[in-house]
Amino acid sequence: MTIGKKMKKSALSLIAAIIFLFISATGVCAATKLFGPEKSEDKALPINIKAVKLSYDKNGENLIARGNVEIEQGSRLLKADYVKINIDTKDTEAKGKVELNENGDVLSCDAFNINLDTQMGTVENANLFVKQENLHITGKDIKKLGVNTYEIKQGNVTTCDTESPPWRIDAKKINVTIDGYATVENGTFRIKKIPVAYLPFAVFPIKTSRQSGFLFPEIGQSSSKGVELNNSFFWAISENTDSTIWLDAASKKGIGTGLEYRFKLKEDTWGKVYGYFADESSSYFNDEYNDTKDRKRQRGYLNFEGEHYFNQDAYVKAQGSYVTDRQFYGDYRSEVHRSKTEIDDKTNISSMPYDESLIFFNKNWDWCNL
């Protein structure tokens, strides 16, 4: 409650916290190894090339593919209008709607010149998207200085998908080392295109390995909630257990906290517990809801999911939820969906007679099943 009151007095403290967390975070920010060293299993796989036209140049040194080009090997898929590969030196040139996809991580650009052996070269007007952390890095001129190192000039960084993101950092120069750190020089932190703070130098992690630390904060602003900062911390407890902790703060709405604990004892035995608690301010509660119905200022949600296979013929699955009021699924849709679930959307629970939890046991025999 004390934190909520202080935040109501000044949104500047929230902005300062945003900048501090961004500069000092030492957490898990997964990044792709696009153009990185090939996986050992990929090297043994054949390279499949599709194009409208395939040919060699006069000297037979370069393989040239034109029109709807698709080059696939293992987990990588390169698409472009034009690709030229030097058979001996491995210098590769791609032009026209270039897209390199590796396990959902995507590099999109107008053109690139990369040596497949040295992993060095240049990329023009590129957007690097990292699926796991929803990270976007965009730049007019990107140089690949090595296997895992990029230099981006006139670029920006954000975790938002929209063309006009709620927040971003613009910088004259960004250096990125995969499974290391990214440094921002001469950067400007913006909220909705409005410059908020100048960052002469900032550092944030770009980690591919699983480790504990702060994740990228989510930043927003609305007339009802005020300035929002949703920050989270990932805790790699052990090889088969981990947890994520959320702290959401809004200058008008108040404080919300969440916790998810996950475990996987073996391939077919896993479970997770997710809970979220919100303490809405009195002013927000009175102004936001014309009809409070069964809502209360302090609201929460608890969910468990898991399954266990005793053997190939017997298994048990369970899913259960507790919710403080019927409107919670609708009012806190994004917070509920933070915990990825196979359960159907329950935002219509307010019109249903009850919520539903289930436990399912199955046993097979040669002649029947229960």
pLDDT 10s digits, 26-78: 333 322 233 334 444 555 567 788 999 999 988 888 999 999 999 887 777 88
- Higher local confidence (pLDDT), 150 or 248: 248
Structure tokens of 355? 């919520």
* Among 44-53, 114-123, 205-214, 331-340, the least confident range: 205-214
What Rg, from alpha-carbon coordinates, does the chain have? Answer: 25
pLDDT score of 244: 94
Q: Residue 303's pLDDT is what? A: 93
pLDDT tens across 351-361, in order? Answer: 677 778 899 99
Check if the beta carbon of residue 232 is closer than 8 Å to that of residue 245. Answer: yes
pTM to 2 decimals?
0.53
* Candidate from 38-52, 115-129, 267-281 with smallest mean pLDDT: 38-52
Q: Is the pLDDT of residue 237 over 80?
A: yes
Distances (CA, A) of 156 to 33, 133, 255, 364: 19, 16, 30, 56
The whole-number pLDDT of residue 364 equals 95
Best mean pLDDT range from 99-113, 117-131, 166-180, 230-244: 230-244
The yes-or-no verdict on residue 4 having pLDDT over 60 is: no
Among 2, 62, 341, 20, which Cα is nearest to 199's? 20
Q: What does the pLDDT average to over 80-109?
A: 87
**Whole-number pLDDT of residue 37:** 41
Nearest C-alpha neighbor of 105 from the set 72, 80, 130, 139: 130
Confidence check: pLDDT of 343 > 70: no
